[in-house]
Amino acid sequence: MKKHTLSQLGARAEDSPISWLMKAALDRPELISLAAGFTDNATLPLKITREILDGILGSSSKGRSALQYGTTQGDLTLRRLTARRLYSLDFPEISPENPPVSSYSAGNIVVTNGSQQFLYLLSEALYDPGDLILVEDPTYFVFLGIAKSLGMHCRGIRMQADGIDIKHLEEQLEGLRKSGEIRRLKMVYLVSYFQNPTGRNTTLEKKKQALDLVRRYESHAGHPIFLLEDAAYRELRFSGAPVASMLSLDPHQERVIYTGTYSKSFATGVRVGFGVVPDSLLSTILRIKANHDFGSPNLLQKLMVEVLTGTQYESHLQAIQRRYLRKSRVMLSVMKKSFPASVHWDIPQGGLNAWVVLPRKWRTGLKSRIFKESLNQNVLYVPGNLCYAEDSGRRKPDHEMRISFGSASEPDIREGIRRLGRVFSKLQ
């Protein structure tokens, strides 16, 4: 007799470290969590949201329409506002009234329950067990959970300070061509803005090179290879120059898939995200979305319409950008004082995370002395090895950590980093 009756997918699905890390932060109030992917609590837009919801529910026609089911693809006004916003982020100098390219059409946008649902829908649309995906090394670990449960095989592309190592992407593609495995390669996944976990930003030049390379290798695959740009942190830029998205490089939107979210830039609890999908995938994604939920919550979409129509979005965004700049600077300055010289990190220009690289002989994984000692000191970080795909082509690095300045208060950031510094000093 079998021990369980689970599907293969059910059996493959593993506990996500994100659930554990978020729960640990909520269950142990004394814990300083530099791990959880929460945003800053104090700047959540309580007043704006209350006023807008009062406005919507105070009008019987608006209120009734918001409390009714919507459409599978999502609210048309929200999709139009989103298309226009993407366009003006990519082409700030050109009027958004007449976009000269078709990649910014509301018709190609699907509103989802956070961008996380979009990542799942897309993976369901494209992947059979055993198919291949190229991901950044390291990458967003919740995406790795999707890959694992759907039986996708990941290969890592090394990262540099300005995005993926293009030479390594080419080597990987060439290796797959030679082995014939390229026929199972469907997509390259890049978290291109203030990446989770490293905080790194991919340059436009690298985006272009990646797109050119992938198009060059497509003939060997015998089918399109898509580039998925995950821009979850794009709007949390607090320094450095803006970078256009890959949509700007694919004028008829044939190969670039883009996903964004209002979770980070407005409110994580609202969870309104979206995908911008090429025509060739749109109806499939919509059919799968219909099977999931035939549409994301209408009330929350109407809320986002009002937020984006007024001036509140922009002012809220500026406030949180200033806040994260400040918190990141506090974190970096205490790291400089408290961490030994053998520990290194990048200076993030946006997002919620800093990536800390320790000497190779120091382990940071869940079973390591550093992790246990940090927990004893009531401080939590994300072990770097959770962010690496299972890739037999290399050993998983185990000497890095993601520390977030998103949710912890400034005093907690200072104290948490000092405690980590004390843990490190015992290893010297």
Tell whether residue 75 is a contact of ligand PLP (CB under 6 A).
no
Of the pair 191, 225, the CB lying nearest ligand PLP is at 191
Among 38, 120, 140, 194, the residue binding ligand PLP under the rule CB under 6 A is 140
How many chain residues interact with ligand PLP (CB under 6 A)? 14
Sheet holding 400-404, edge to edge: 344-345, 353-357, 400-404, 382-383
Q: Does 355 bind ligand PLP (CB under 6 A)?
A: no
Binding track over 389-418 against ligand PLP, x by CB under 6 A:
------------------------------
Among 33, 108, 261, 296, binds ligand PLP (CB under 6 A): 261
Cα gap 264→406, rounded to integer Å = 10
Query: Per DSSP, what are the bridge partners of residue 163?
Result: 160
d(CA 244, CA 12): 37
Q: Nearest approach, Cβ of 349 to ligand PLP (angstroms)? A: 16
296 counts as binding ligand PLP under rule CB under 6 A: no
| Structural element, H or E, at residue 414 | helix 410-425
In the complex with ligand PLP, the residue whose CB is nearer, 261 or 370, is 261
Binding residue (CB under 6 A) for ligand PLP from 111, 121, 232, 236:
232
How many angstroms separate the CA atoms of 424 and 390, rounded? 28
Q: Which of 33, 49, 116, 202 lies at the binding interface for ligand PLP (CB under 6 A)?
A: 116
Query: What residues form DSSP beta bridges with 157?
Result: 136
Q: In angstroms, rounded to a whole number, what is the distance separating the alpha carbons of residues 210 and 140? A: 19
Q: Determine the interface stretch with ligand PLP among 111-119, 218-226, 281-289, 356-364 (rule: CB under 6 A).
A: 111-119
Range list of β-strands (E), 319-418: 344-345, 353-357, 379-380, 382-383, 400-404
Report the nearest approach of ligand PLP to the CB of residue 230 (Å). 5
Residues 6 or more apart whose Cβ sits within 8 Å of residue 394: 137, 156
Specify the stretch interacting with ligand PLP by CB under 6 A; choose among 110-118, 239-247, 280-288, 341-349. 110-118
- Nearest distance, CB of residue 425 and ligand PLP, angstroms: 31
Tokens of 379: 């401080």
In whole angstroms, what is the distance from residue 34 CA to residue 405 CA? Answer: 7
Alpha-carbon distance of 224 to 250, in angstroms, equals 14
* Interface region with ligand PLP, contact rule CB under 6 A, candidates 3-11, 55-63, 214-222, 263-271: 263-271
Provide the minimum distance between the beta carbon of 171 and ligand PLP in the complex, in angstroms, as a whole number. 25
- How many other β-carbons are positioned within 10 Å of the β-carbon of residue 254? 13
Interstrand relation of 400-404 and 382-383 (parallel, antiparallel or unpaired): antiparallel
Q: What is the widest separation between alpha-carbon atoms in the chain?
A: 67
Omega prior to 138 cis, within 30 of 0: yes
* Separation CA 161–CA 147 (nearest Å): 25
Binding mask 183-222 for ligand PLP (x = CB under 6 A): --------x----x--------------------------
Amino acid at 202: T
Q: Does 230 interact with ligand PLP (rule: CB under 6 A)? A: yes
d(CA 178, CA 25): 47
Q: Binding string, 35-74, against ligand PLP, x = CB under 6 A?
A: --x-------------------------------------
Residue 114 touches ligand PLP, criterion: CB under 6 A:
yes
User: What one-letter code names the amino acid at 109?
Assistant: I
Is the C-alpha dihedral spanning 8, 156, 142, 317 positive or negative? Answer: negative
Q: Which of 271, 316, 399, 414 binds ligand PLP (CB under 6 A)?
A: 271
Interface residue with ligand PLP among 33, 73, 115, 248 (CB under 6 A) is: 115
Whose CB is nearest to ligand PLP?
114
Tally Cβ neighbours within 10 Å of residue 414.
18
Q: What minimum distance in Å lies between the beta carbon of 174 and ligand PLP?
A: 28
Minimum CB separation of residue 115 from ligand PLP in Å reads 4
Residues forming the site for ligand PLP (CB under 6 A):
37, 114-116, 140, 191, 196, 230, 232, 261, 263, 268, 271, 273
